[in-house]
Amino acid sequence: MTVTQLSQEVICFAGDSGDGIQLTGTNFSHNASAWGNDVMTLPDYPAEIRAPAGSVSGVSAFQMQFSSTDIHTAGDEFAVLIAMNAAALKNKIGGLVNGGLILADQNGFSKKNIELAGYSSDPLSDGSLPDYRIIADNFTHLTVQSLKELNLPPKQLRRSKNFFVLGIVFWIYSRSLTQTEEWLKAQFSDKPLVMEANILALNAGFNYADTTEIFGESFQVEPAPKKEGFYRTISGNEALSLGFICAAEKLQRTLFLGSYPITPASEILHTLSKYQDVGVKTFQAEDEIAAACAALGASYAGALGITSTSGPGLCLKTETLNLAVMTELPLVVINVQRGGPSTGLPTKTEQSDLLFSMYGRNGDSPMPVLAAASSADCFDMALEASRIATTFMTPVILLSDGYLGNGTESWLVPNPDDIAISAVEQYQQTDQFHPYKRNPITGSRPWVSPGTKGKMHRIGGLEKQSVTGDPSHDPDNHQRMTKERAAKIAGISAFIPEQPLTGETDDLVLVISWGSTRGGVSSAVKQLREQGMPIAHTHLRYLNPFPANLAAIIAAFKHVLVFELNNQQIVKLIRAEFLTPAKSATQTTGLPFKVRDVVKTISEYYGEITDGC
Amino acid sequence: MDVEILNRKDFVSKSQVKWCRGCGDFNVLKTMQSVLAKTGRTRENSVFISGIGCSSRFPYYLETYGFHTIHGRAPAVATGVKAVNPELDVWVITGDGDALSIGGNHFIHAIRRNQDIKILLFNNAVYGLTKGQFSPTSAQGWVSKSSPSGSPDRALSPLALAASADATFIARTSDNDPNHLAMVLEAAADHKGTAVVEILQNCVIFNDKVHEPYNGPKNRDENLLYLNSSMPLLFGKDKTKALINNGFGFKVAKVDDPCVLVHDPETQESTYAFALANLNYPQFPVPVGIFRQIQRPTFDQVLTEQQNRAIKKRGTRDLTTLLQQGSYQRLV
């Protein structure tokens, strides 16, 4: 029996929605993360609660990469495909590497299932997949058999098949079952029979792989060299939630979330509503508008008001955002972007709300826009969004997306003492109090909440008289206030980190990415640089305003190539702002970039511009 | 601690009041200022939140905290304010168009949550600020700029809607009767929970005298039904007419009818307030006063209780514990 060492591996669990695929994948990723691997995951599930059983559109999948080195994506292709039925095989076979392993549950390849998946004969046995290694058995039947002493109906026993298969996969990668057993004990503490069934199934799967000799070898992916500390796997939505809890505590403000459920942002509402004990107040509003308005009301009353949503929900919140711009109150709006327009692709990722976030308001209504770069970075960007909103008295849009929101990665848990934001020192006006007298450094007005003695004042959506804040229709004042609001937001560029650059300013091409594309694009650039290509890369997390030194970086390059998951949005901003003839590379498939595709695009572009040199 | 004794003038802001001459809003403003002073409210803990419309300029004229928000959304903004600072007295100022048309959703949901806010709904049955279109409370068939053939919509009763959403405090009063207005506002101020107060208000420009047939000083005695707790439902100049039960509603009877109903604002079933709210002139007198006044936990109380239970269950978690949840330690 040989154990082959791998530096990294990509696997994909796929089955019917309802087969427990997300749960299985999550458990494997937790195990890999606890083992010390660097982990990134890409859940992929249908928008329907239960699409017709056995149909290709009803396939739920969970792809993950785990590695003994730092990784930044969930992988392009997978080496192992766990297919619980024929539809899962059909849906995902395109992502399996040549020579890859198919681990299939024959129970999901009944005549009916094969037909439903659109195959004319059983692909596992008809010789149509010669490029792959197939290991198929009736895992469902084996699960039921191994659990038959339990006093549970067969239908219930069959539901443990995902843990049987997980046991097999744990054996393949030489993993311990302890952690998953502990998880099952905690998860099903009130359903002891279900707990026992799942634990038995997990062990039965492991033993099956150990005793049958159908696997000639097993594999080992060593832990990645990591800094000492506490690690956990975290999704972007969880990281945002924790980030805001930390921000509120550091800022000494109550955290208030007003939200209305929407995929893929609902998890933020679910997560934060579990933290009432640490003072978090969540409000499931009657609609997106009320959610934003209540959050703004909370900010007005002195809390850190935030609201979470996804594309269509942001449309409804914009009137409130304008009110926040006019009244100069802090508010953080989280937009976990998905495919659009309209209802679009509810469970798929995209970055196509950028221009809407920048400009989707009436009047000249400038607002900071930030974009998290990875699931774990969502934590840091929640802190940043909170810092900017409260320091500059402004609403802030924080862009995440479905890939970051649902995807997970291993995260080095920070020490709260190292979190640098602190409560904003309020600008003290020594003479008469004026609600719109600006702090000379930040340009922001004071945050005085109801309940404060002696500073009663009125604010609202009507144009403000500069300094006094009284409603004003004076033409010169409107011009002045329009400029003051714009200058305040533009001035934030002096209070954000410098734009980092990978590579040198005398490299031939500058690649620009933003938001969730960092993983795919940075991995591609790394590969190309290792091959000696002069490709530099800069990744944007601050989109409005841009960091102050970005202009100089872009000016240093003749060739600029911009990657994003939409139909050319940030490239327009970059061209307009920096007067550079930047090229655009986009994808709108609802999926993140594959490293290979980015490598190909950059290489082709490099080929074009160096042709004849 | 010294308690500052304030009078009406302390609640007058420096802003110039810009309503039309003769507008009913002036009386409401003055009475509100008096009520705040009389009930011993502090200026810093009073917050007036409004939507859009003539009446929604109200907060500018009060020396308290004020937030003039967006059309129809004031109850939602107020919900956030009250949820994070339950110490505040939160008033929502709204009109018939603002509360019932664009803001209908928020109006219903604030009420069903029993958020501790006082909603003053100025009802002049017309859109004033946009210059004269029919509103949700305009009579069907009413001719306006946007309804030259008459409003096609049936009029909505704000208080019937409030009763349907199970409001814990429901009242009606009018802009031209300061004593009655003050009595109702004081009761609303003292109520814990959502108080919905409909104020029959006159728009001199676009819908002058709309409430005159029952609310005009000359017609009140005959056509208003003054609701007083524990008092029979009598009306008419010499209180010779009475309301008695008739199926799910009322009918008019003589004062000596043995079945004359006695008003009980603490009636638990909202159907009673609903039936009162559906009494329309001229078939019936128009009830004014407090329709309903019952106790139910408020939204901020429920949130606080949940929070206390969560703390009891989990103990207090510091940030480190919270962040490290589900983590494993790696030593190098």
pLDDT digits (tens, 9 = 90+) for B199-224: 999 999 999 999 999 999 999 999 99
**Residue A613 banded pLDDT, cuts 50, 70, 90:** low
The answer to whether A50 and A18 have CB atoms below 8 angstroms apart is yes
**In percent, how much of chain A has pLDDT > 70?**
99
Mean pLDDT for all residues in chain A? 95
- Which residue, B278, B76, B156, is CA-closest to A293? B76
Choose among A411, A343, A325, A345: nearest CA to A372.
A411
The SS3 of residue A600 is: helix
Task: Report the distance separating Cα B39 and Cα A556, nearest Å.
Answer: 69
Whether residues A230 and B328 touch (CB distance < 8 A) is answered with yes
In angstroms, the CA A19 to CA A25 distance is 11
Enumerate the residues of chain A whose CB falls inside 8 A of the CB of residue B47.
301, 450
CB B288 within 8 A of CB B226: yes
> pTM score, two decimals?
0.95
| pLDDT at residue A226 in the model | 81
Cross-chain residue pair B311–A277, CB shorter than 8 Å: yes
Bridge-based pairing state of the strands A59-67 and A78-83: unpaired
Contact B319 A287 (CB under 8 A): no
d(CA A268, CA A275): 11
- Average pLDDT for B38-54: 97
Most A-contacting residue of B55, B57, B65 (CB-CB within 10 A), to test interface: B65
Q: Do A230 and B73 touch (CB under 8 A)?
A: no
Inter-residue contact A599 to A527 (CB < 8 Å): yes
Distance from CA of B241 to the nearest CA of A (A): 44
A176 at interface of B, judged by CB pairs closer than 8 A? no
pLDDT confidence of residue A7:
95
CB within 8 Å: A297 and B49: yes
Q: What 8-state DSSP symbol labels residue A56? A: G
Give the residue-averaged pLDDT of A48-60.
87
Distance in Å, alpha carbon of A158 to nearest chain B alpha carbon: 29
| Closest residue in B to A412 (Cα–Cα) | B327
Q: What is the pLDDT of residues A558-611, one digit of tens each?
A: 999 999 999 999 999 999 999 999 999 999 999 999 999 999 999 999 999 998
A300, A316, A333, A448: best to mutate for the B interface, most B CBs within 10 A:
A300
List CB contacts (< 8 A) between A452 and chain B. 44
d(CA A388, CA A395): 9
- Which residue from B66, B81, B332 is facing A298, i.e. has the nearest CB? B81
| Least trusted range by pLDDT, from A214-223, A488-497, B243-252 | A214-223
Task: Give which of A442, A557, A573 is closest to A496, Cα–Cα.
Answer: A442
Partner residue facing B64 (CB), from A246, A276, A456: A456
A18 CA: distance to closest CA in chain B (Å): 25
Q: For the segment A74-106, what is each residue's pLDDT rounded down to a tens digit?
A: 999 999 999 999 999 999 999 999 999 999 999
Which residues of chain B have a CB within 8 Å of the CB of A241? none
Query: Binning pLDDT at 50, 70 and 90, where does residue A50 land?
Result: confident
Which residues on neighbouring strands pair with residue A67, listed in sequence order? A8, A38
Give the pLDDT of residue A214. Answer: 84
Length of chain B: 332
> CB under 8 Å to A204, separation ≥6 — which residues?
A142, A143, A146, A147, A164, A167
Residue indicated by tokens 């699931």: A375
Q: What is the pLDDT of residue A46?
A: 84
DSSP annotation of A339 = B
Cβ-defined contact of B310 to A277 (cutoff 8 Å): yes
Cα(A520)–Cα(A528) distance, integer angstroms = 13
Cβ A571 vs Cβ A562: under 8 Å: yes
For residue B330, what pLDDT is reported? 84
Q: Does A397 touch chain B (CB under 8 A)?
A: no
CB-CB contact of A350 with A310 (8 Å): no
Write out pLDDT tens, residues A520-532: 999 999 999 999 9
Write the pLDDT tens digit of every residue in B110-143.
Answer: 999 999 999 999 999 999 999 999 999 999 999 9
Name the helix (H) or strand (E) containing A111.
helix A111-116
- Give the distance from residue B44's alpha carbon to the nearest chain A alpha carbon, in angstroms: 5
Query: How do beta strands B65-68 and A458-460 pair?
Result: parallel
Report strand pairing: A281-284 vs A304-309. unpaired
What is the percent of chain A with per-residue pLDDT over 90, rounded to a whole number?
Answer: 91
Of residues B15, B310, B319, nearest to A249 (C-beta): B319
> Chain B contacts of A258, Cβ < 8 Å?
80
Q: Quick one: which H or E segment has residue A220?
A: strand A217-221
**For the complex shown, is ipTM > 0.90?**
yes
Residue (of A178, A229, A188) closest to B324 by Cα position: A229
Nearest CA in chain A to B110: A286
Structure tokens at A410: 């291993």
Task: Work out the burial of residue A400: count CB atoms within 10 Å of its CB; fewer than 13 is exposed, 13-18 middle, 19 or more buried.
Answer: buried
Q: Which of A33, A230, A300 lies nearest to residue B67, judging by beta carbons?
A: A300
Q: Quote the CA–CA distance of B249 and A315 in Å, as a whole number.
A: 44
| Chain B residues in contact with A222 (beta carbon < 8 A) | none
- Report the pLDDT value the prediction gives residue A585, as an integer from 0 to 100: 98
Pairwise CA distance, residues A33 & B327, whole Å: 9
Residues A536-552, mean pLDDT to the nearest whole number = 98
What is the structure's pLDDT at A431?
Answer: 76
Please state the rounded mean pLDDT for residues A317-338. 98
The reply to whether residue B64 touches residue A305, judged by beta carbons under 8 angstroms, is: no
Establish if A34 touches chain B: CB-CB under 8 angstroms: yes
Which two tokens mark A502? 């990978």
Residue of A nearest to B71 (CA): A319
Encoded amino acid at B157, one letter: S
Query: Measured between beta carbons, which residues in chain B are less than 8 angstroms from residue A416?
Result: 318-320, 323
Angstroms from B13 CA to nearest CA on chain A: 9
- Please identify among residues 276-305 of chain A the ones whose CB lies closer than 8 Å to any CB of chain B: 276-279, 281, 283, 285-287, 289-290, 293-303, 305
Q: How far is C-alpha A48 from the geometric centre of its chain's CA atoms?
A: 21
3-state SS class at B290: strand
What are A440-452's pLDDT values in tens digits?
A: 999 999 999 999 9
What is residue B2's predicted lDDT score, i.e. its pLDDT? 61
Q: Can you tell me which residue has the tokens 């069959």?
A: A158
Hey, are the CB atoms on B73 and A320 less than 8 Å from each other? yes
> In this complex, which of B62, B314, B319 lies closest to A277 when CB atoms are compared?
B314
Q: What is the rounded distance in angstroms from the CA atom of residue A476 to the CA atom of residue B40?
A: 42
Mean pLDDT of B48-59: 97
Q: Confirm or reject contact between A255 and chain B (CB < 8 A).
A: no
Chain B interface disruption, residue of A413, A422, A462, most B CBs within 10 A: A413
The pLDDT tens digits for A375-392 are: 999 999 999 999 999 999
Q: How far apart are CA A142 and CA A120, in angstroms?
A: 27
How high is the pLDDT of residue B122? 98
Tokens of A167: 């046991």
Of A34, A293, A323, the CB nearest to B328: A34
Chain B residues with CB-CB distance to A273 below 8 A: none
Q: In angstroms, rounded to a whole number, what is the distance separating the alpha carbons of residues B307 and B86?
A: 14
Section A360-376 average pLDDT: 98
Given CB atoms, is A272 within the 8 Å cutoff of chain B? no
- Residue A272: pLDDT band (50, 70, 90) is very high
The mean per-residue pLDDT over the stretch A284-313 comes to 98
Chain B residue whose CA is closest to A249? B319
Question: Which of these, A74, A411, A406, lies nearest to A270 by C-alpha position?
Answer: A406
**Least confident range of A36-45, A163-172, A386-395:** A36-45
Contact A277 B307 (CB under 8 A): yes
CA–CA separation, A103 and A83 (whole Å):
6
Amino acid found at A465: Q
State yes or no: pLDDT of B274 exceeds 70.
yes
Three-class SS of residue B122? strand
For A112-144, write each residue's pLDDT tens digit.
999 999 999 999 999 999 999 999 999 999 999
Given an 8 Å threshold on Cβ–Cβ distance, is B325 in contact with A300? no
Chain A residues within an 8 Å CB radius of B307: 276-277, 279, 281
d(CA A494, CA A26): 41
Q: How far apart are CA A306 and CA A279, in angstroms?
A: 14
Size of interface A-B (CB pairs under 8 A): 198
- Spatial contact of B47 and A450, defined as CB atoms under 8 Å apart: yes
Contact criterion met (CB below 8 Å) for A613 and A63 = no
What would the mean pLDDT of A197-218 be, rounded to a whole number? 93
* Mutation to test the A interface, candidates B71, B77, B89, B108, most A Cβ within 10 Å: B77
C-alpha span between A201 and A514 (Å, rounded) = 43
Q: How far apart are CA B66 and CA B282, in angstroms?
A: 39
Q: What pLDDT score does A594 carry? A: 96
Whether chain B has a CB inside 8 Å of the CB on A456: the answer is: yes
| B1, pLDDT greater than 70 | no
Interchain proximity B317–A278, CB inside 8 Å? yes
Nearest by CB: A416 against B59, B64, B320: B320
**pLDDT over 60 at A612, yes or no:** no
pLDDT at A351 over 60: yes
From chain B, the residues in CB contact with A303 under 8 A are 80, 84
Distance CA B278, CA A205 (A): 69
